[in-house]
Amino acid sequence: VTRILILILFILWLAWDPSQSMAAAPFWLAMPLFLGGYLLLVVSTGIWGRLTARRVAAWNFHQTLRRFNITMDVARIAIPAWFGVGLYLLGWRAIVASMMSEPLMNSVLGVIVGTLPPLAAWMGLWWSQYPTERALREQSLLGMIDANLPLHAPPSFGRYFMSNLRLQILFLGIPLLLIVLGHDIGVLLGRTLNLQEEGSNVMEVASWLISAIGVFVFAPEILRRVLHTEPLRDSPLRQRLDALCQRTRIRYRDILLWKTDNNMGNAAVMGFVPRLRYILLSDLLLERMPDEEIEAVFAHELGHIVHRHMIWYVVFVVVLALINAGPGSWLAAHLTRWFGTHAQEPVLAAMMIAKFLLLFGFVSRKFERQADVYAARTMQSRQPPNTAATCPSILAEVSAAGDVTHANMPPAPALSVATVSEQVSPSFVGPYGATLLASALRRVAIVNNIPIAARSWCHGSIATRMQYVQGLSHDPELTSRFDYFMRWLYAGIIGALLLSVTAFAMIPQSDPAQSSGDHPQAIQAVPSMSAN
């Protein structure tokens, strides 16, 4: 979710229509007000964080900490919100434009300067958060000594800052700036070769597209360096993972060890094409989880590859963009009629963001669930002949967690052995796979110090995910019912794509420059629409 907030900053800057700004404050007041707002946010949360960290020994520290963390979430949301205020009311774009020429505004340079204040504030919040993070880490050291786990000193502020910079800002910012750079080069090339006719958008759109596709394809090579990784060394675990990929016929460039200073237990997959595809496993995950569970987490990542989730995400984003360009611009014209020119942009932006968060949240939770189901059924097919004898530790441990989850579960339908064997699909979630995945998920939560019930926008809570796969294991039929549901979801996305293409083609485009936002022609488009 943090990355979505940062993405919103870049999108707000690039898509902002300058004619929509309402410079309510005079120039000399606007800039100090805009920057001062961010400074106030960072300083006040910073002081609060330091006061909170001092109370680490207090009996109600966790309550105090929870209040502080909620405030920090609000502060993070406030950053793009204040950026919107800066653009809309304080004329931040005009301030930047006074420092450089207008054509440079959407170039790499303009994007960097334009988004610098909110990004600096974002980094400032790490300074605010650091003392409590450190206090918490120091406190958990005691528990780790008790549990006989390897100890790591809490990271210094410099390391903490750098790892956040890599993960939150550079991870998204570098590919994004490369896309903008590619676009800049394309437009420049078009101009020098005189390919671009007056008022034609072809070069503009083509250079965005080519540049975006190029960066998407090569992103893994960039990101493996941004994230601080190295190839996972040869070991029994590595051989086991390689063997799993061979069995499932999944090709990739490499499996990478993701160095997070033992801060994060996480796994990820990136890359559209096998030659540029990497699967990442973080240091903390490898250190704190048994091999069977690492394999289950790894299989979850393979699930994302098998079901081509990355391509579906792209299709999904294209659908959303088409809806914005087609029905969205139609709606924009009506909003102008009802609310006047100035209210249209914020209302539309708010609606776009809400729609994006709702739909994206829904789809990504289903994709995560599908990857879970894939992992559980893959692990199921790996069940050793005599499970109880080979890995009693896993099953014993999970049954403790399982008892809790089973309590809220509807009773499994009674099936005779005969019907089960008839209904069994070639691959399904059985008790062994479900239990192994559930125990791996639970340990991911423990390793990362997050409550099992904590909700995540893109993943759902760990508890829900554990409950779901264990629910499936009661009856093989449930797995095929889930597959059936997912097929309908994909059909729905394709349907939405066809519908939005049709809607885009049918709604008369009052101005081709509408979609490119800040094109000078767009300025005239708005009044002419409201006159109709």
- Within residues 395-454, the interface with Zn ion by CB under 5 A covers none
For Zn ion, the closer CB: 167 or 179 = 167
Nearest to 36 by CA among 18, 50, 168, 28: 28
Q: Shortest Cβ distance from residue 90 to Zn ion (Å)?
A: 39
For Zn ion, the closer CB: 96 or 371 = 371
Cα distance between residue 2 and residue 165, in whole Å: 12
Q: Shortest Cβ distance from residue 128 to Zn ion (Å)?
A: 29
Distance of CA 309 to the CA centre of its chain: 13
For Zn ion, the closer CB: 368 or 518 = 368
Cα distance between residue 67 and residue 58, in whole Å: 15
Q: Shortest Cβ distance from residue 266 to Zn ion (Å)?
A: 10
Long-range own/partner contacts, residues 129-134 (CB < 8 A, 24 or more apart): 129/45, 129/49, 129/72, 130/49, 130/157, 130/160, 130/161, 131/49, 131/50, 131/52, 131/53, 132/49, 132/52, 132/53, 132/65, 132/68, 132/69, 133/160, 134/53, 134/160
3-state secondary structure of 281: strand
Q: Shortest Cβ distance from residue 458 to Zn ion (Å)?
A: 9
Taking residues 169 to 188 in sequence order and writing x for each that binds Zn ion by CB under 5 A, - otherwise, the string is --------------------
Residues 6+ apart with CB under 8 A from 493: 312, 315, 316, 319, 363
For Zn ion, the closer CB: 48 or 298 = 298
Residue spans of beta strands (DSSP E) within 225-384: 229-231, 254-258, 267-270, 278-282
- Within residues 306-345, the interface with Zn ion by CB under 5 A covers none
The DSSP annotation for 143-173 comes to HHHHTTPPP-PPPPHHHHHHHHIIIIIIHHH
Q: Shortest Cβ distance from residue 300 to Zn ion (Å)?
A: 6
Q: Shortest Cβ distance from residue 309 to Zn ion (Å)?
A: 8
The neighbour count for residue 84, using CB atoms within 10 Å, is 20
Cα distance between residue 294 and residue 296, in whole Å: 5
For Zn ion, the closer CB: 118 or 303 = 303
Q: Shortest Cβ distance from residue 368 to Zn ion (Å)?
A: 5
Only one residue has tokens 């090339």, namely 189
Q: Shortest Cβ distance from residue 304 to Zn ion (Å)?
A: 6
- Within residues 343-402, the interface with Zn ion by CB under 5 A covers 368, 371
Q: Beta 278-282 vs 267-270: how paired, if at all?
A: antiparallel
For Zn ion, the closer CB: 302 or 496 = 302
Residue type for 245, please?
C
The DSSP annotation for 378-440 comes to HHHHT--TTHHHH-HHHHHHHHHHHHHHHHTSPPPPP--HHHHHHH--SS---HHHHHHHHHH
Nearest to 93 by CA among 144, 20, 8: 20
Residue type for 506, please?
M
For Zn ion, the closer CB: 184 or 368 = 368
For Zn ion, the closer CB: 50 or 307 = 307
Cα distance between residue 265 and residue 443, in whole Å: 9
Q: How far apart are the first and last CA of the chain?
A: 40
Q: Shortest Cβ distance from residue 236 to Zn ion (Å)?
A: 25
For Zn ion, the closer CB: 37 or 265 = 265
The residue count for binding Zn ion (CB under 5 A) is: 2
Q: Shortest Cβ distance from residue 268 to Zn ion (Å)?
A: 8
3-state secondary structure of 256: strand
Cα distance between residue 45 and residue 68, in whole Å: 8
Q: Shortest Cβ distance from residue 370 to Zn ion (Å)?
A: 9
Q: Shortest Cβ distance from residue 216 to Zn ion (Å)?
A: 19
For Zn ion, the closer CB: 366 or 382 = 366
- Within residues 22-61, the interface with Zn ion by CB under 5 A covers none
Nearest to 111 by CA among 96, 121, 95, 125: 96
CB 460 within 8 A of CB 450: no
For Zn ion, the closer CB: 371 or 394 = 371
Residues at the contact surface with Zn ion, assessed by CB under 5 A: 368, 371
